[in-house]
Structure 1
Amino acid sequence: MRALVQRVARASVRVDGETVGEIGAGLLVLLGVTHGDGEREALRLAEKVRALRVFPDADGRMNEPLGPRREVLCISQFTLYGDARKGTRPSYVAAAPPDVAAPLYERVCELLDARRGVFGAHMEVELVNDGPVTLLVEVAPQ
């Protein structure tokens, strides 16, 4: 399971012109699921994201985790498992099929108490990256 995590001042997601999720200061999580991922990986990834110390402390250093004052917006993103090492057309064979990925995406959203996009939909994601701070967080299937 992979997550591209961005610290944001605000973020929103629209489907068919309608806003389906939005947050103020917090984290935007783009989530990809691969073959072999399950409940264990969802738990580990959510714990890692919640514990990331990417917010400023009293001294201005990135030393604080998400905490209760900040929000999460989570977007399904199978393209995080795209492989473009050969040629210019990425292969997505490493991405889990929708029947596997959808429930795990929903589970991570639940664990993060996240607002969310619509799994499988064409979405417009808008964000103001704060910092900018962007991290790739990955947990391997076990």
Structure 2
Amino acid sequence: MAAALRNDHVLAELDAVPLDQPLAARLTEAAATLHAYLDRMGAVLGAVQAGGRRGERREPADRSATGDRTTATERTREAVIRLLEPDRAALRLPVEQLAVIFLGILMPRRGATGGAETPIETLVDVFLHGVVEVDAPAAAG
């Protein structure tokens, strides 16, 4: 299971995103890559859970998995930083902070309820341009 959940493949795909594309295209490709990885990971975890038996005695959790997860998360953040770097001068916040925000927008969407899944292009658009229409009148308050 540990081998199936490794993120080496997703990191290689993120590293292959051409940096000469517009930022929106780079982030859309990265989001699609991460989304596919999360789908694969969810399928593996679901299969493992479905195969378990109730009342079965479990071994204590392997503490090294937490370190591996932390390393994988950091490597993913670094890959997103590389994708943001070419536009550093045009961005309002440091690329390091934006990478964390970008990943935060993508990851929890799996647990959202109450409607259809938000398309990746919409997530990237909101990340890049915010939630307020540029020509929209100011809200009455």
Q: Which has the higher relative contact order, 1 or 2, with Cα contacts under 8 A spaced 6 or more apart?
A: 1
State which structure, 1 or 2, has the greater radius of gyration over its C-alpha atoms.
2
What is the TM-score normalised by the length of structure 1?
Answer: 0.32
What is the TM-score normalised by the length of structure 2?
Answer: 0.32
Q: Which is strand-richer, 1 or 2?
A: 1
